[in-house]
Structure 1
Amino acid sequence: MNNEFYVGWGTLALINAGLAQGKNRSGLNWFLLSLLLGPIATFCLVISDKK
């Protein structure tokens, strides 16, 4: 795999952490979850309601 893939995946995880904090959820937990699940975690965040 090339480095661009890792940079994109890491950027997505940071975006998800920001989305999570905007919905009053733990940014760190969602960042770590996003490193594992990537776009699936983004989808879960987008459809979830604000806490």
Structure 2
Amino acid sequence: MSASRAPEFFVGIGTLALINAGLAQAKNRSGLAWFLASLLLGPIATLLIVVLDKAPAPRG
């Protein structure tokens, strides 16, 4: 990866992390935790979010 492609890479990873946080919240999971996991795991985190069932709604 050349230095000129670095900004696009980080914008793409950041965008994917935001999308994953939204997906996680839609499945009653922690958006922040999945955002951070997405920064480390990238598309693997997306696959995990899609495959996991919706969590039960929190009581209260």
TM-score bracket relative to the smaller structure: over 0.9
State the identity %: 73
Structure 1 unaligned runs (5+)?
Answer: none
Structure 2 unaligned runs (5+)?
Answer: 56-60
Root mean square deviation, CA, Å: 0.7
Q: 2:23 maps to what in 1?
A: 19
Give how far 1:6 is off. 0.3
Say yes or no: does 1:5 pair with 2:9.
Answer: yes
Say yes or no: does 1:47 pair with 2:51.
Answer: yes
Give how far 1:28 is off. 0.2
CA distances 1:8-36 after superposition (whole Å, capped 9, x unpaired): 00000000000000000000000000000
